[in-house]
């Protein structure tokens, strides 16, 4: 038996196991189970098999399996996620600086770096962990009285943690100069030239009102770069995250029908969520993997 067929056999064993252990209604899976058993038998028959044909059958089974499991079986999703390296709830860590505290001298001094990284960034990490644990507690106890407060804390500290983690890594004692390759090409396309980009970015940074950031972002929708200001990054968004499911609760979204009964609008809205689209976004989003901290 070829290595490919051996792998397929192991894969179909695993799939059958998952079907056996699944919490789904058995009747929904009967047909899929039967198809896997037939497929397995075929692989085991020791006859000479057409690998292309086998591949096509396996692909069909794979798609059917995904359709059954990928959207709504929390066990399967949890297993998929656990196979990757994840940051568990309340366990974010302060990333070590990728260079010495004095490495960015004379542009950024050692004392600032120590304070900025060890104290400020650390307090974002602690605050984010605390907020995540409190929100988990709220879900467990079904007590959401303080959810607004903890959402604010999660946003403020999460944005702080994620943005600082990017910030340390996008600087280097060997930095400066101009980008090359794809990035330079995209900058030229989006802003006209590197010079114009640099000017725009500097002006945006200089004109951030109060605390905040200048941020170069990639829009997967527009497929272009853009420069944004994040004034007071805590404005309830974390940055460095990808939106999957969004619910518009501006009054214009429900006022005609629901008047001021936002709660009823929200309750009803769940009836029209297109989970397969959300799942598609989730699968795409998982392709972006930064080192976990
Ligand atoms: Fe900072």
Sequence-distant (≥ 6) Cβ neighbours of residue 104 within 8 angstroms = 113, 171, 173
Tokens 């499911």 -> residue: 245
Co-location of 93 and 72 in the same domain: no
Cα 121 to middle of ligand 1, angstroms: 7
Average pLDDT score over residue span 216-233: 84
Q: Are residues 17 and 77 in the same domain?
A: yes
pLDDT of residue 97: 93
Nearest to 157 by CA among 139, 134, 141, 140: 134
Task: Output the pTM of the full model.
Answer: 0.66
* pLDDT given at position 82: 52
Report the separation in Å between the CA atom of 205 and the middle of ligand 1, taken as the mean of its atom positions.
Answer: 13
Distance, CA 122 to ligand 1 centroid (Å)?
11
Query: Domain residues for 231?
Result: 177-241
Ligand 1 midpoint to CA 287 (Å): 28
Same domain for 198 and 270: no
C-alpha of residue 96 to centroid of ligand 1, in Å: 15
Cis amide leading into 87 (omega within 30): no
Total domains, the chain: 4
Kindly give the distance from the C-alpha atom of residue 165 to the centroid of ligand 1, in angstroms, as a whole number. Answer: 10
How far apart are the CA of 216 and the centre of ligand 1, in A? 17
The percentage of the chain sitting over the pLDDT mark of 90, rounded to a whole number, equals: 36
pLDDT at 15: 84
Clarify whether residues 111 and 41 are in a common domain. no
* C-alpha–C-alpha distance, residues 267 and 150, integer Å: 22
CATH classification of the domain holding 103: 1.10.287.990
Q: Do 102 and 163 belong to one domain?
A: yes
| DSSP assignments along 139-179, one per residue | HHHT--TTHHHHHHHHHHHHHHHHHHHHHHHT--TT--S--
Do 165 and 140 share a structural domain? yes
pLDDT tens digits along 51-104: 777 877 887 887 778 777 754 555 555 555 454 578 999 999 999 998 999 999
Query: Residues 283, 213: one domain?
Result: no
Domain shared by 170 and 93, yes or no = yes
Residues 24 and 72 in one domain: yes
Q: What is the DSSP string of 198-252?
A: HHHHHHHHHT--SSEEEEEEEETTTTEEEEEEEESTTTT--SS---------SGG
170 and 198 belong to one structural domain: no
CATH number at residue 289: 3.55.40.20
Same-domain status, 118 and 97: yes
Examine the fold and report which residue of 56, 82, 108 is the final residue of a domain before the chain moves on: 82
Of 40-49, 138-147, 282-291, which has the strongest mean pLDDT? Answer: 138-147
> How are the residues of the chain apportioned to helix, strand and coil, as percentages rounded to the nearest 5?
60, 5, 35
Q: Are residues 8 and 65 both part of a single domain?
A: yes
Instruction: Calculate the dihedral angle through the C-alpha atoms of 202, 203, 208, 210, rounding to the nearest 10 degrees.
Output: 80
Mean pLDDT for the stretch of residues 108-136: 95
Residue 45: pLDDT band with limits 50, 70, 90: confident
């Amino acid at each position: 038996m070829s290595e490919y067929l051996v792998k397929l056999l192991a894969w179909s064993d695993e799939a059958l196991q998952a079907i056996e252990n699944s919490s789904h209604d058995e009747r929904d899976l009967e047909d899929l189970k039967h198809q896997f058993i037939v497929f397995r038998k075929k692989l085991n028959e020791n006859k000479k098999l057409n690998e292309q044909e086998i591949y096509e059958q396996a692909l069909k089974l794979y798609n059917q399996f995904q359709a059954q499991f990928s959207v709504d079986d929390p066990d399967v999703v949890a297993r998929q996620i656990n196979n990757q390296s994840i940051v568990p709830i309340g366990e974010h860590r302060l990333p070590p600086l990728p260079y010495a505290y004095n490495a960015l001298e004379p542009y950024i001094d050692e004392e600032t770096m120590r304070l900025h990284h060890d104290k400020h960034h650390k307090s974002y990490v602690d605050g984010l962990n605390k907020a995540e644990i409190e929100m988990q507690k709220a879900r467990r106890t079904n007590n959401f009285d303080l959810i607004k407060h903890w959402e604010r804390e999660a946003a403020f500290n999460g944005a702080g943690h994620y943005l600082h983690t990017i910030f340390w890594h996008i600087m280097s004692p060997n930095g400066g100069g101009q980008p090359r390759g794809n990035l330079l090409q995209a900058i030229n396309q989006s802003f006209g030239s590197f010079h114009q980009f640099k000017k725009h970015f500097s002006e945006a940074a200089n004109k951030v009102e109060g605390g905040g950031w200048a941020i170069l972002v990639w829009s997967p929708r527009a497929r272009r770069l853009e420069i944004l200001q994040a004034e007071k990054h805590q404005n309830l968004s974390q940055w460095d995250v990808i939106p999957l499911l969004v619910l518009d609760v501006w009054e214009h979204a429900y006022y005609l029908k629901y008047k001021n009964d936002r709660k009823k609008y929200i309750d009803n809205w769940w009836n029209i969520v297109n989970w397969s689209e959300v799942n598609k976004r989730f699968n795409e989003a998982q392709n972006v993997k930064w080192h976990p901290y």
